[in-house]
Amino acid sequence: MQRSPAPSSGASCLKVFKKFVKSLGGFYLCLHTLSLTPMTKKLLLVAAVLILGAQLFQPTRNESLDESPDDIMVRYNVPEPIQITLKKACYDCHSNHTVYPWYSYVQPVGWWLNHHVEEGKEHLNFSEFGNYPLKKADHKLEEVMESQETHWMPMDSYTWMHPEAKLTEEERLALINWAKSLRSTLNQTP
């Protein structure tokens, strides 16, 4: 049995477009069964087109396959329990290795998450920590300590959807002590 050749990208796009139009047609027929004003039906149809069309524009993913030589876990001695804590509660927003949930593929949620991750990496990126000048690294570790003392990290908006990222008091204290120890080590560096 001979297989037919794979469709060209143009044919694939046409197929996707036809499915898109067909789904809109079904939505349009559904709208006609509702007792809505013509203007409301048109507005709902436009909203559906915009929402479906937005799905075609996915943000760039923050998913590096390689571990950076500047990653804090590569550059410094990070005990295994601290590595586990950082990966479960910090790395999604503060590294180059975000693990995306299913809903990140739905726009505009994906855009919001992407913005949140980019903002988190601007403040602290554990994947680039080894590139930080000593003064900046020291300050970032001080902020890690403060974030655990005041319980503002991980953010509630993150732990609602990722309950495994909620830290116990023991984990918070361990992070504080580790950051304090690493600060001490950094400050002894000539």
Q: Is the pLDDT of residue 8 over 60?
A: no
The two tokens of residue 44 are 């709902």
Number of domains in the chain: 2
Buried b / exposed e over 61-89, threshold 16 CB at 10 Å, is ebeeeeebebbbbebeebeeebeebbbbb
- My answer on whether 147 and 181 are in the same domain is yes
Instruction: Provide the residue range defining the domain that includes 38.
Output: 9-54
pLDDT of residue 20: 59
- What is the distance between the alpha carbons of residues 78 and 182, in angstroms, rounded to a whole number? 9
- What is the distance between the alpha carbons of residues 60 and 141, in angstroms, rounded to a whole number? 28
Share of the chain above pLDDT 70, in %: 82
Helix (H, G, I), strand (E, B) or coil at 79: coil
- Is residue 60 in some structural domain? no
At residue 2 the predicted structure's pLDDT band, cuts being 50, 70 and 90, is very low
